[in-house]
Amino acid sequence: MINLIKKYSRFLPHKFCPGCGNGIILNCFMRAIDQLDIDPNSYLCVSGIGCSSWIPSPYLNLDTFHTVHGRAIAYATGAKVANKKLNVIVFTGDGDGAGIGGNHLIHAARRNINLTVFLINNYIYGMTGGQMAPTTPKNSITSTSVFGSPERPFDLCDLVKSAGATYIARWSVFQPRQLIKSMKEAILHKGFAFIEILSPCPTEFGRRNQLSIKDYLSLFDPKSSREKNKFKTPFGILVKKKSPEFCDILDQIKKIASKKGDI
């Protein structure tokens, strides 16, 4: 671990709350890229705004691009198309990636652009102090739903599936081995790869909804039946298929068009 930290981090310790899952995700990501035979200089980690956007920036000693709220995938799209050799990884949260940035998420999935998106779902807006998110389970208590959330949550894996993502997986931070393996697959996958990572937010979600880390463990237990599992989330690799990738198509267009170029 010390070696990994030396190799891949520029600032530590991180500032995440005790019990937050974000540190585990940072750890898993460092392990995943360490196990892959890819030039670290080719990674570009893009994030938006929110607790999960701090996983790569400032902690990872790679090119990191901490952008504005909700737009990480759009920034990533421009960078990837401009330099197709980059391995572009987006770290986003449920508020960032599915609330304010939901439009970019579905369109990037639709294009099947070769991006890897790790969406960390903690069911709440953590950084701003615990407001209701588009993933907050119905009737949960948040600082903007003290009577219980009146809204139905998104199933994000279903959402990106119908939008056309070609690699989709869901894990919780309590499944680090599976997560590391899946992160590697997602990075190597040619096309839009999406992993929803369920993560406890003891400070904002757990506290308000009386969930200890132990409760989170049973909530995120992949073995518990879907009925018992309050969040009704199937884990594992949900989609893995081949489909023409967007940047490749752009390159083909260039080939056809360049035959008539005049400067």
Partner 1 sequence: MLPGKYLVLGDIACAEGAIYAGCKLFAGYPITPATEIAEYLSRRLPEVGGDFLQMEDEIASSAAIIGASWAGVKAMTATSGPGFSLMQENISYAYHTETPIVIVNVQRSGPSTGQATYPAQQEFYQSRYGAHGDYESIVLCPSSVQETFDMTIRSFNLSEQYRIPVILLMDGAIGHMREKLVIPNPKNLNIIRRVYMDDNYTENGLVLPMGKFGSGQKLLITGSAHEISGKRNYTPKVHQSTIKRICSKIQANNDIIEIESFNLDDANTIIISYGVSARPSYGAMLNLRKKGVKIGFIRLKTIWPFPDTLLRNLINNNVHSIFVVEMNNGMAVREVSRVIKNAQVFSISVLGGIIPKIKYITKKVEEIIYD
- Which positions ≥6 away from 238 have C-beta within 8 Å? 157, 161, 168, 169, 170
Residues, the chain, total?
263
Largest CA distance in the chain: 67
Q: Measured at CB, which residue is nearest to ligand SF4?
A: 20
Q: Are 112 and 244 in contact (CB under 8 A)?
A: yes
224 binds, among partner 1, ligand SF4, none (CB under 5 to 8 A by kind): none
Interaction site with ligand SF4 (CB under 6 A): 16-17, 20, 22, 51, 122, 126-127, 201-204
Q: Are 4 and 31 in contact (CB under 8 A)?
A: yes
261 binds, among partner 1, ligand SF4, none (CB under 5 to 8 A by kind): partner 1
What's the closest the beta carbon of residue 83 comes to partner 1, in angstroms?
Answer: 4
What's the closest the beta carbon of residue 47 comes to ligand SF4, in angstroms?
Answer: 13
- With helix as H, strand as E and coil as C, how does 16-46 read? CCCCCCHHHHHHHHHHHHHHCCCCHHHEEEE
d(Cα 174, Cα 35) in Å, to the nearest integer? Answer: 20
22 binds, among partner 1, ligand SF4, none (CB under 5 to 8 A by kind): ligand SF4
d(Cα 11, Cα 46) in Å, to the nearest integer? Answer: 17
What's the closest the beta carbon of residue 23 comes to ligand SF4, in angstroms?
Answer: 9
What's the closest the beta carbon of residue 12 comes to partner 1, in angstroms?
Answer: 14
256 binds, among partner 1, ligand SF4, none (CB under 5 to 8 A by kind): partner 1
E strands of 102-192, at which residues?
A: 116-121, 124-125, 131-132, 167-172
d(Cα 94, Cα 174) in Å, to the nearest integer? Answer: 18
Q: Please, which residue, 51 or 179, has the CB nearer to ligand SF4? A: 51
Q: Please, which residue, 20 or 76, has the CB nearer to ligand SF4? A: 20
203 binds, among partner 1, ligand SF4, none (CB under 5 to 8 A by kind): ligand SF4
122 binds, among partner 1, ligand SF4, none (CB under 5 to 8 A by kind): ligand SF4
DSSP secondary structure code for residue 136 in this structure: P
Phi first, then psi, for residue 247 (nearest 5°) are: -65, -35
Q: Please, which residue, 117 or 247, has the CB nearer to ligand SF4? A: 117
Interaction site with partner 1 (CB under 8 A): 10, 41-42, 44, 46, 57-58, 61-68, 71, 74-83, 85-86, 103-104, 107, 250, 253-254, 256-258, 260-263
Q: Is the peptide bond before 58 cis (omega within 30 degrees of 0)?
A: yes
